[in-house]
């Protein structure tokens, strides 16, 4: 399964809060570009931010979960 971005942020704390919410709801979650953001902020902006991703088969449910919790889609 390909990972799908369900949330995008330029703030590491915000991305981790979303990751925590999704994991608590038993989604399989991946956070991409997080460590790079600590070193090269310009790179994070160039690559589209810190991405919170889930497997493709969980994407629809994860987006609905985030919307119901007040989160935004990418």
pLDDT tens-digit profile of 20-70? 999 999 999 999 987 766 666 665 666 678 999 999 999 999 999 999 977
CA-closest candidate to residue 15, choices 25, 30, 28: 30
Residue 1 has pLDDT above 90, yes or no: no
What is the bridge-based pairing of β-strands 3-9 and 30-32?
A: unpaired
Number of domain units in the chain:
1
If pLDDT is split at 50, 70 and 90, which confidence band does 12 have? confident
Residue 74 has pLDDT above 70, yes or no: no
Range of the domain at 56: 3-68
- Distance from the Cα of residue 63 to its chain's centroid: 10
Residue 73 domain-assigned (yes or no): no
Residue 38 domain-assigned (yes or no): yes
Residue 74 domain-assigned (yes or no): no
Residue 39 domain-assigned (yes or no): yes
Determine which helix (DSSP H) or strand (DSSP E) holds 4, and give its type and residue range. strand 3-9
Residue 27 domain-assigned (yes or no): yes
């Amino acid at each position: 399964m390909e990972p799908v971005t369900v949330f995008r942020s330029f703030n590491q704390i915000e991305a981790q809060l979303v990751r925590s919410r999704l994991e608590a709801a038993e989604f399989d979650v991946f956070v991409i570009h997080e460590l790079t953001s600590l070193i090269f902020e310009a790179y994070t902006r160039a690559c589209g931010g810190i991405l919170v991703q889930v497997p493709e088969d969980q994407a629809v449910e994860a987006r609905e979960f985030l919307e119901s919790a007040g989160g935004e889609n990418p």
